Structure 1
């Protein structure tokens, strides 16, 4: 029995006019992808997406690398820091004026003999001047952090978030009446700086 015999029922089917030993026309060659040569090294596998080249992947959510300019949310946070700083300076001025007014009342001729008032005036004047210094320092810190947003690293970001959280807490207690605006602004600052684009900006590589 010969497999070359066209009438052999047990032999492989042969196409019309096809020579023995060759695969039938229209059928893929075993061991190779259909319709082409074998896959070359470095080419993507069939059915799988090609990964982006090294160095072109996104940094912190930014395609193509680190951000080159301050994101919008971080810009808004910087403006809010300047606003907080301005409010602090204004508050320091008001505390200073109150301290001056108490000192002037203390020197009033009609109140010099009032021992209780003199003691209260001394205490109030000292407390007001202490508030003046503390509020002014807090305002200067807010302005300085706003300036450092453009060039600061991750340490500045952490400092801003801590500053914002403390400002929000102080705005609720003990300065709830005059600190509500500080609380709202401070919460927004913490949110904008704490977002992913804020992290990408402060963690960007510096050359």
Structure 2
């Protein structure tokens, strides 16, 4: 009894020849190289268009920023007290000059000048206090302009502190007190500038606001 030829038999002359790999036929892809020497363990993560992903904005104020903010409030309160002291002193000096029975024109002019200088210093302290407190308040929701104003304010404060240091070495009386005040002012100014110039500070002021 004869059977029909098996089409899958390679010896069958009537069967279909096996397909050879080559042109027109898909070839088996080689296996991927194992991670090791000469091959990266893990491809670096990149964001859109091949750039590294942007760091997420901080959700809370950085620690150094909190310190700078507290110092702004403390300095602002001290400046308010200094402004009140100068203005009260100017008013008292003016009252003394007005009620004086002295006929010395030079003494009266000197008293009026002292009262005027004290009043001007008191106004300067009041303006500085307003700026310090406003910057401290704006640290929470302020933008990049607050950061720039803080840098300028800290730079001016640091320069005044350095001038105070130079002047304290030439003073015979109160040298230690002047030196401590000047050093504190320089240190506070450096903290202000450093806090807003660090990466965390820049990201904080440039964070998106909704």
* 169-178 vs 153-162, which moves further: 169-178
Classify 1:34/1:87 alpha carbon distance in 2 versus 1 (closer, same or farther; 3 Å): closer
- Superimposed CA distance per residue, residues 72-120 of structure 1 (whole angstroms, 9 cap, x where no aligned partner): 111111111111111111110121122123113313434x312111111
Q: Which segments of 5 or more consecutive residues in structure 1 lack a partner in the other structure?
A: 1-20, 22-28, 37-45, 60-64
- Is 1:153 the equivalent of 2:151? no
> Following superposition of structure 1 onto structure 2, how do residues 131-150 of structure 1 map, counting pairs within 5 Å?
131-150=121-140
* 2:42 is equivalent to residue 49 of structure 1: yes
Shift of 1:204: 1.2
CA deviations on 1:5-31 (whole Å, 9 max, x unpaired) are: xxxxxxxxxxxxxxxx9xxxxxxx996
Residue number in structure 2 paired with 1:124 = 114
SS at match of 1:51: coil
- 2:36 pairs with 1:32: no
**C-alpha separation in 2, matches of 1:115 and 1:35:** 100
Q: TM-score, normalised by structure 2?
A: 0.68
SS in 1 for 2:132: helix
Task: Tell me the TM-score normalised to structure 1 length.
Answer: 0.69
Question: Which of 195, 198, 201 is the equivalent residue of 1:198?
Answer: 201
Q: How does 1:102-121 map to 2 (within 5 A)?
A: 102-110=93-101, 112-121=102-111
Q: Greater helix percent: which structure?
A: 2
Question: Secondary structure at 1:152's aligned position in 2?
Answer: coil
The CA RMSD measured in Å over matched residues stands at: 2.9
Task: Quote how far apart the aligned CAs of 1:35 are.
Answer: 8.1
Q: Provide the rounded CA distance (Å) in 1 between the counterparts of 2:100 and 2:94.
A: 12
Q: Secondary structure at the match of 2:117?
A: helix
2:141 alignment partner, SS class: coil
Q: Partners in 2 of 1:187 and 1:154 — Cα distance?
A: 19
Give secondary structure in 2 for the equivalent of 1:70.
coil
Q: Determine which of 179, 186, 189 is the counterpart of 2:192.
A: 189
Answer with 123-132 or 48-57: which moved more: 48-57
Q: Alignment partner for residue 162 of structure 1, among 149, 152, 169?
A: 152
**1:205 offset after TM fit, Å?**
2.0
